[in-house]
Amino acid sequence: MAKPAPCLATTRLGEPCRFSARKATGFCVNHDPSYREEQRQNARHGGRRSIELRTPISIPLGDVDLSERAGV
């Protein structure tokens, strides 16, 4: 099996991108202009999910009796 072609874009440092290119455009998913809007949506979703995961869960403990072993 042949090795996929590298992305045609360069990184912020001016070095060639090392990701594999998509066949249709020659760019990887990080540099493909047609994929940009989907990446923005994914980033927004990831940011919201990250906040959700860091929010502590509130568990009401009013009816818990820890005075006896059976209550634990």
Tens digit of pLDDT for each residue in 1-27?
Answer: 788 899 999 999 999 999 999 888 899
Structural domain includes residue 66: no
Structural domain includes residue 58: no
Burial of 6 (0-12, 13-18, 19+ CB in 10 A): middle
Structural domain includes residue 4: yes
Structural domain includes residue 9: yes
Structural domain includes residue 28: yes
pTM exceeds 0.75:
no
Structural domain includes residue 38: no
Name 66's Cβ contacts closer than 8 Å, sequence gap at least 6. Answer: 72
Closest alpha carbon to 19 in 34, 4, 33: 4
Number of folded domains that form the chain: 1
Name 34's Cβ contacts closer than 8 Å, sequence gap at least 6. Answer: 25
Q: What is the model's pLDDT at position 21?
A: 93
Structural domain includes residue 60: no
